Chains A and B, each alone.
Chain A
Amino acid sequence: GAGVSQTPSNKVTEKGKYVELRCDPISGHTALYWYRQSLGQGPEFLIYFQGTGAADDSGLPNDRFFAVRPEGSVSTLKIQRTERGDSAVYLCASSLMQGSVHGYTFGSGTRLTVV
């Protein structure tokens, strides 16, 4: 596609529920990143995929968070047993192999609200 697409745009869920957030990167971009942006803060890194594999998942806060990219394009961020502290905007970005050189393209994010 022309840009990075994230769905849904907004998601409200009840505490304890399971949610999935989807990211559809730019076609041909092998690198995909997930970030979490809490209110009034800068985005924080969660996980990086190169192709199908998670090359760096050091930013995932705990084992309730998991992400997949089975075919090397679309990625899904999965959050189990959601907590109110998980409320944030979840941003996805994609790039050619080296984002710092080729540039990162961001989606508009999913605003997750846990009530």
Chain B
Amino acid sequence: AQTVTQSQPEMSVQEAETVTLSCTYDTSESDYYLFWYKQPPSRQMILVIRQEAYKQQNATENRFSVNFQKAAKSFSLKISDSQLGDAAMYFCAYALGTSGSRLTFGEGTQLTVNP
């Protein structure tokens, strides 16, 4: 079974600074995808960034980038130039690269951005 672990229940960062959220996962599969989702108080899960396991290049989306270490099964999220609106719960998630694959989520990291 696949598992996802986020070892940082809470993190804080100063506005305009950079913060890195950690995630490790365990799988024996070779075809899979990794995700970071943001969940604000509205409860809706919002996709931040996605990484295909077969791609060696780390995904980037504006201020958000990942450090994907496939051998170490590590998938960290870096947020640059943090903004107040980045404050939320962040979840790392895994899904197989097959039709109908469900997401397996980590426990989450609560990010606080201090002005």
Interface, chain A (partner B; CB < 8 A): 31, 33, 35, 40-45, 48, 50, 55-56, 59, 89, 91, 93, 97-101, 103-104, 106-109, 111
Contacts and interface: CB of A to CB of B under 8 A. Distances in A.
Chain A CB within 10 Å — which of B93, B102, B106, B107 has the most?
A: B102
B103 A98 contact: no
Nearest to A91: B45
A114 to B, nearest CB: 18
Contacts of B95: 99-100
A104 B103 contact: yes
Contacts of A91: 43, 45
6 contacts: A41-B108, A44-B105, A98-B97, A98-B101, A100-B97, A106-B46
B91 interface: yes
B8 to A, nearest CB: 13
Contacts of B42: 108
Contacts of B44: 106-109
A100 B27 CA distance: 16
Chain B CB within 10 Å — which of A41, A101, A109 has the most?
A: A101
B33 interface: yes
Contacts of B102: 33, 45, 48, 56, 59, 99
